[in-house]
Structure 1
Amino acid sequence: MSLIKCQQLSRRYGSHLALDNINLDLTTGQPIALVGPNGAGKTTLFSLLLGYIHPSAGSIEVFGLPPGHPQLRSKIGALPQDAKLDPDFTLEQQLSLFAQLRGMSAKAAKQEALRVLTLVDLADSLKQKPTTLSHGMSKRVAIAQALIGEPELILLDEPTAGIDPANARLIRDLISKLSDRTTFVVSSHNLDELERLCDQVVFLERGQVKQQVSLSATTETQYFTLQLQAVDDQTVLSVLRQLPDVLQVNVASQHAFVIEYQPSATALDVALLQLCHQQGWRYRLLLNGRSLEDTLFAQ
């Protein structure tokens, strides 16, 4: 099912071109990663999808409709970056209000507030005010408001930025759990996290789509990533390059090697493990494929 379609989409702020002639066609399903450096246009794209701003040129559709269309009101949820709630009202009061704005009755809205807080493991905080919460708890509440009404599309802008590992894991687990009925688009600088969550990856740079890849399509064949402990990288490179069917070996980081090999090769993973044993190398990881970082940035 068509989710997001952009055709020659551009957005200009005065003389600054934030998005430059973007073409995208994304479908519903597994979470989608939106990656790029600061200023790449990620937040601008989210704002366009939500109808907060309008294109300077080109077109954009969500579920076949223009952003801001009344029929999209119940279909889309969003977590803006650094979203904050009003400090003077309880979580129940604020989330109930948001639910009523989505068309729920007052009674149903209270039930919905409890439901979404339960999803983020904060049901006990229903009567608390935002000022009593830790940063990680506040982030989870902000995500809870995006879940109100069970939208079909949820946009998350830096959902785990600046929070502790336990809260970050809870958020990742929640996204994975809900992905069978909701499509998440996640903007983040944490490539390791996105690699765990997402299949489709859109890489923006200077307002343009530089790459669009599927991790399941690009990491199942042709690459192995081998991470070792306390070795001389140049010696390892020399030995790995002599293996049959190996096309190229690069150092991804200290003691980590990306091995490109012939698609017709068989049992290369076994050969790599045997080589580690023969050479006395202690390995930490043998990955079938390569990391998202290497997929996007390896030359």
Structure 2
Amino acid sequence: MNLIHCKQLSKSYNGKPVLDKVDISLVAGAPIALVGPNGAGKTTLFSILCGYIKPSAGEVTILGEPVGSPKLQGLLSALPQDAQLDPDSSIFSQLKLFAELQGMKGKAAKQEAMRVLELVDLVNVAKAKPKSLSHGMSKRVSIAQALIGSPKLVLLDEPTAGLDPANAKKIREIVRDQSERTTFVISSHNLDELEKLCDQVIYLERGQLKQSLSIHTAQDVDYLTLIMKKADMAAVHQALLGLTAITKVSQSANNQFIIEYPTQSDFTLEQQLFSVLAQHQWQYKSIMKGRTLEDTLFASEFEHAT
């Protein structure tokens, strides 16, 4: 059964399409990235999935049920980017209330409030009020709220926007830890972060689905990403083209080369690459197996022919 299924999903405002015949089929598993420029339709898609707004056309199901079905209660949760808690009520009392709204009563609701606080490592602030917390801690409390009832699907809109590195790292850890039992769909502009967390990527642009791909799925071709220090980039490029079994070498503006080659089980190519660098005394900054998410999505925009 599909986790999320959208067929010809469209949404328009005053005749202007925000989502235009989007077809998406997602299954439960590793976190899923939803990316795209501002105005691409990401927030509109989340709003439709949550039942906040209705589509203009098309079909949407979650876990095989139509959006808004009572059967989805407790199975779907969401954290909007600007979600806020009541500043004058304690963290614990609010989480307990949200647990009660999901049907838990008395002791069970209290236990659930403490359980989710423990998941985000904030049991010590249970009696505090949100206005006394830092932005990062408040975001973690909001994620705790989204995890009440152990939902099957959680939609996160810019979960680490504006956070310091320590709190952003903590939120990534929370997502990883919960991914065995919950599928997260994460909308973010931080591609480096999504690359660390996600496997599948959905890319929207101007309301249309432009790409849907898996980052880590094995394919017939593989990549090495080489970032050089100061060197004659034209000479480096030419030398790379001379490596055995190279399919393509692309160069970006920041001394980065993407080497495409047929998937192999040994390290022949890597050995050749290090030999060439040593021969010419070329200093490299990093060598990475594969491509970055940014290069995967936007390679055609910066590549130079090989």
| TM-score by shorter chain over 0.5 | yes
Shift of 1:168: 0.7
Structure 1: give runs of 5+ residues left out of the alignment. Answer: none
Shift of 1:109: 1.4
Residue 134 of structure 2 corresponds to 134
Residue 62 of structure 2 corresponds to 62
Amino acid corresponding to residue 298 of structure 1 in structure 2: A
The SS at the match of 1:54 is coil
Shift of 1:15: 2.3
Shift of 1:220: 8.1
Q: Structure 2: how far apart are the matches of 1:278 and 1:176?
A: 42
Residue 227 of structure 2 corresponds to 227
Q: Structure 2: how far apart are the matches of 1:252 and 1:289?
A: 15
Shift of 1:265: 9.2
The SS at the match of 2:38 is coil
Q: Structure 1: how far apart are the matches of 2:115 and 2:282?
A: 51
Residue 285 of structure 2 corresponds to 284
Residue 294 of structure 2 corresponds to 293
Q: Structure 2: how far apart are the matches of 1:55 and 1:85?
A: 28
Q: CA RMSD in A?
A: 1.6
| 1:207-218 mapped onto 2 (5 Å cutoff) | 207-217=207-217
| 1:178-193 mapped onto 2 (5 Å cutoff) | 178-193=178-193
Shift of 1:259: 0.9
The answer to whether the aligner puts 1:200 opposite 2:197 as a matched pair is: no
Q: Structure 2: how far apart are the matches of 1:98 and 1:87?
A: 15
Q: Is the 8 A contact 1:245 1:265 kept in 2?
A: no
Shift of 1:233: 2.4
Amino acid corresponding to residue 27 of structure 1 in structure 2: V
The SS at the match of 1:222 is strand
Amino acid corresponding to residue 164 of structure 2 in structure 1: D
Q: Structure 2: how far apart are the matches of 1:162 and 1:221?
A: 37
Amino acid corresponding to residue 232 of structure 1 in structure 2: D
Return 184-193 or 281-290, whichever deviates more.
281-290
Amino acid corresponding to residue 214 of structure 2 in structure 1: S
Deviations 1:236-293 (A, max 9, x none): 2122122222232222341221112244696112211222222222333222211111
Amino acid corresponding to residue 252 of structure 2 in structure 1: A
Residue 115 of structure 1 corresponds to 115
Q: Is the 8 A contact 2:10 2:57 kept in 1?
A: yes
Deviations 1:196-229 (A, max 9, x none): 1111100000001000001112678431111222
Q: Is the 8 A contact 2:220 2:263 kept in 1?
A: no
| 1:8-87 mapped onto 2 (5 Å cutoff) | 8-87=8-87
What's the TM-score, normalizing by structure 1?
Answer: 0.96
Q: Structure 1: how far apart are the matches of 2:191 and 2:208?
A: 19
Q: Is the 8 A contact 2:35 2:188 kept in 1?
A: yes
Residue 101 of structure 1 corresponds to 101
Amino acid corresponding to residue 293 of structure 2 in structure 1: L
Amino acid corresponding to residue 103 of structure 1 in structure 2: G
Q: Is the 8 A contact 2:2 2:27 kept in 1?
A: yes
